[in-house]
Amino acid sequence: QALRQISQRTISTASRRQIENRVPEHQKLFQEDNGLPVHLKGGAKDALLYRTTMVLTTFGTVYAIYHLVVSSMPKK
């Protein structure tokens, strides 16, 4: 009985909120032909995330190669 009341309460309160459907404006943004790749069409935030990911990936690759070279050298 209590579980039924809780579930009905959450369903009824969720239907009261009116959430604006922003899918059409996002579709328009991502489908326009402005020469940018899809992963950068979100603006400055996407560009920052992309550059951060590239820097971390490059650093991680260099770090891994460095440790492979160091571990392959025999110790004196």
pLDDT given at position 5: 63
Distance CA 41, CA 46 (A): 7
Nearest by Cα to 47 from 37, 58, 32, 59: 37
CA angle 59, 60, 66 (to 5 degrees): 90
* pLDDT tens, N- to C-terminus, the chain (76 residues): 666 666 665 555 555 567 889 999 989 988 999 898 988 898 899 999 999 999 999 999 999 999 999 999 988 7
pLDDT given at position 56: 98
Conformational region of residue 2, where left means phi above 0, alpha means psi within -120 to 50, and beta covers everything else: alpha
Distance CA 44, CA 71 (A): 40
Q: Are 59 and 47 in contact (CB under 8 A)?
A: no
